[in-house]
Amino acid sequence: MIFRFQPYSGGGPTPKFSLFHIWKVYDVLNSQGPMGRKGLAKALGIGEGSTRTILDKMIKEGSVESTKKGAVLTERGEWIFQTSGIFATSVDMSNLTLGPKDCAVLVKGMADHVNSGYEQRDEAIRSGAMGATTLILKDSCLKFPDDPYIPDQEALQPLRDIFTIEDNDVVIVGTASSYKEAEKGAVTAALVLSDATRLYWGGENTSLISSDAAAEDIKCIALAIHELLGKMPVTMRSRDNYGVRCEGGRVIDDNYTGPVLEEVLEHNIVARKVAPSGIYRGLPVIVVPIEYDKEVVAAFGVVDVTKDKILRYIFESHDD
């Protein structure tokens, strides 16, 4: 799984990091040692607030510890990174790629999970790269997936020079106008392909109902409940990002928040009240907090537009 975030559309907080940035924390701390938050934020290319969120979570999971010299990987963190099976480095593959900068990523033992290789290319492009080329090692030869043609192995020698490639391994070469973009594209494609993502965040599903979940991450849940409630209007957002508003069987707003949602997130209460402002002003709403590990991470709301007796009973009943 991977964090999937919508482009910023204005009007509220936006997602600032993806699973790539979590991998990058491991990579940077593994290769460069202790580092302060400012330096790490610069290396990641994201803000200090987002960097702090990642570090706090990693510290809580026991992968990172804070020292006087900065953040450092623990033994558990080093183990997670080394067993992830994903390693990236700069390479010149101008005979194979289109962009001026290339990044090669080795993914251990995942060749059987590759179909045409177009999937990895598309993931890389969605992440900002110009493209990506996928190669697999079969019978000691680097090949393109689903292609009987064996490419010139000498032309692919730079990949063997930087990696120890074994049968069933995958190499993804991302290309872009800058190395950072090429790396992000190739590593993101590798993370989607690999099962290594289960190692990050202590095995939690970080893309669903987490405090920093984006609208794209939670819309499937909101839509499912929307259907269960007979297409009653529903709203949902995480603590750190605006969310979704569903009506008529679809998401009609993916950058939504409301006053009652915000009240519930702030005070960790179940709210049954008439919306004081916003799109649903004057309508009865029921909003509940969603908790994880005794922390409010999201809020979910239903708007009573039917005046149904059962919903009226729920609205008027007292909290358990």
CATH number at residue 297: 3.30.450.40
Q: Are residues 98 and 176 in the same domain?
A: yes
The answer as to whether 205 is a domain residue is no
The answer as to whether 254 is a domain residue is yes
pLDDT for res 193 = 83
Q: Are residues 68 and 98 in the same domain?
A: no
Q: Are residues 134 and 221 in the same domain?
A: no
Q: By the 8 A CB rule, do 283 and 311 touch?
A: no
Number of domains forming the structure of the chain: 3
Give the C-alpha distances (Å, rounded to integers) separating 11 from 48, 181, 245: 21, 27, 15
Closest CA to 162 of 99, 93, 225: 93
pLDDT for res 27 = 93
The answer as to whether 97 is a domain residue is yes
Domain boundary among 37, 59, 82: 82
Count of residues for the chain?
Answer: 320
pLDDT for res 213 = 77
pLDDT for res 307 = 56
Closest CA to 191 of 4, 56, 11, 19: 19
pLDDT for res 29 = 94
The CATH number of whichever domain residue 24 belongs to comes to: 1.10.10.10
**Measured between alpha carbons, how far is 33 from 78 in angstroms, rounded to an integer?**
11
Q: Are residues 43 and 90 in the same domain?
A: no
Give the C-alpha distances (Å, rounded to integers) separating 106 from 5, 138, 173, 175, 249: 25, 14, 9, 15, 42
Give the domain extent around 141: 84-183
User: Average pLDDT for consecutive 10-residue bins of the chain (320 residues)?
Assistant: 32 59 92 90 87 88 90 90 87 90 92 89 90 92 88 92 93 94 93 66 50 80 88 92 92 94 94 92 92 84 71 47
Closest CA to 60 of 202, 196, 197, 199: 202
Indicate yes or no: pTM above 0.85.
no
Q: Are residues 62 and 52 in the same domain?
A: yes
Number of alpha carbons in the 13 Å side-chain half-sphere of residue 59: 12
Question: 27: buried, middle or exposed (CB in 10 Å: 19+, 13-18, 0-12)?
Answer: buried
The answer as to whether 157 is a domain residue is yes
**Measured between alpha carbons, how far is 236 from 254 in angstroms, rounded to an integer?**
10
Closest CA to 15 of 5, 26, 27, 29: 5
Closest CA to 302 of 279, 278, 272, 276: 272
The answer as to whether 239 is a domain residue is yes
The answer as to whether 32 is a domain residue is yes
pLDDT for res 195 = 58
Closest CA to 222 of 299, 289, 275: 299
The answer as to whether 13 is a domain residue is no
What element of type H or E holds 73? strand 70-73
Q: Are residues 119 and 164 in the same domain?
A: yes
Q: Are residues 105 and 71 in the same domain?
A: no
Q: Are residues 68 and 25 in the same domain?
A: yes
pLDDT for res 83 = 81
Residues 91-101 have pLDDT tens digits of 999 888 888 99
End-to-end CA distance of the chain: 36
Q: Are residues 77 and 104 in the same domain?
A: no
Q: Are residues 51 and 129 in the same domain?
A: no
**Measured between alpha carbons, how far is 68 from 84 in angstroms, rounded to an integer?**
28
Q: Are residues 96 and 140 in the same domain?
A: yes
Strands 243-247 and 250-256: antiparallel
Q: Are residues 92 and 68 in the same domain?
A: no
The answer as to whether 30 is a domain residue is yes
Residues 6+ positions from 239 with CB-CB distance below 8 Å:
211, 212, 265, 296, 297, 298, 299
